Amino acid sequence: MNDKPGDQPAEKPKAAPRARRSSTPPAAAAVEPVGASMPAPIPSVTAPEAAASSASHSSAPIRATTVNVNRGGVGEVEAVTINVHQGGIGAASAEDITVTQGGIGRARADDIAIRLGGAGVAHGDRVSVELGSIGLAVGGSVSLTQGYARSVLAREVRINQGGAQSIVAEKVVFEKQGGAFILLARRVEGDVRTVLDWRGALALGAVVALGFALVGRRKHT
């Protein structure tokens, strides 16, 4: 096909210019030194039901100045002050531990106060139980008010409308209907109902030892 006179040929589209490679190397990513962004120690931790239930599955203990456990459970806690309300802790170590409508498996502190709750083992300078129960209480001073303890080993024990299965102490004070099944104490004050005192315990121990001796002699013969 012949071009008509006066017609100009169509221009070819120009290719886009190629981007030039920069000779400047890319900027390196900023790297913070290890430990530069470490969080500060936690002064206070509140463990409600959701947070406490998730924390109970962690093997690492919770460490803080103050720990509050509300309606939940925590495996292990190390703090200065621990407050438990309608919750539980497997093991707790602090200066002050307060339990209200809750429980602790093992508690070690200077002051342990339990009200409407319980503890498996409590070891402290001062242990008090009100309207609750405790498995083993070891301390300088142990107080039971309308509460029960399976075993108590302390320097001084005071029981007010409560009781214990066995008590070994230097001084025991009973107030208003207190009692113990086995009582071994240097000083006893107040009206107390006991099944075995230290004399009875010694006699029972002698009888048991004699029984074992006779059984052993029969086996040899």
Please report the sign of the dihedral spanned by the C-alpha atoms of residue 129, residue 133, residue 139, residue 143: positive
- The top-scoring range by mean pLDDT among 12-16, 108-112, 186-190, 198-202 is 108-112
Averaged pLDDT score across all residues of the chain: 76
Report the helix count and the strand count for the chain, using DSSP H and E. 2, 12
Query: Tokens 């120009």 label which residue?
Result: 14
Dump pLDDT digits (tens) for 23-55. Answer: 555 444 343 444 444 444 455 566 554 344 444
pLDDT band at residue 182 under the 50/70/90 scheme:
confident
Percentage, residues of the chain above pLDDT 70:
60
> Is the pTM for the entire model greater than 0.85?
no
193 or 203, which is more confident? 193
- What Å distances lie between residue 63 and 41, 46, 181, CA to CA? 9, 12, 40
Query: Are 161 and 147 contacting, i.e. CB atoms less than 8 angstroms apart?
Result: no
Dump pLDDT digits (tens) for 114-133: 999 999 999 999 999 999 99
Which of 58-67, 140-149, 167-176, 191-200 is predicted least confidently?
191-200
Quick: pLDDT tens for 131-179.
999 999 999 999 999 999 999 999 999 999 999 999 999 999 998 878 8
What is the pLDDT averaged over residues 84-103?
95
- Residue 159's pLDDT is 93
Report d(CA 8, CA 146) in Å as an integer: 114
Please check the confidence at residue 184 and state whether its pLDDT lies above 50. yes
- Asked whether residue 221 carries a pLDDT value surpassing 70, the answer given is no
- Cα 70 from Cα 84, distance rounded (Å): 6
Rounded alpha-carbon distances, angstroms, from residue 99 to 73, 77, 188: 13, 14, 29
Residues 209, 94: Cα–Cα separation, whole Å? 42
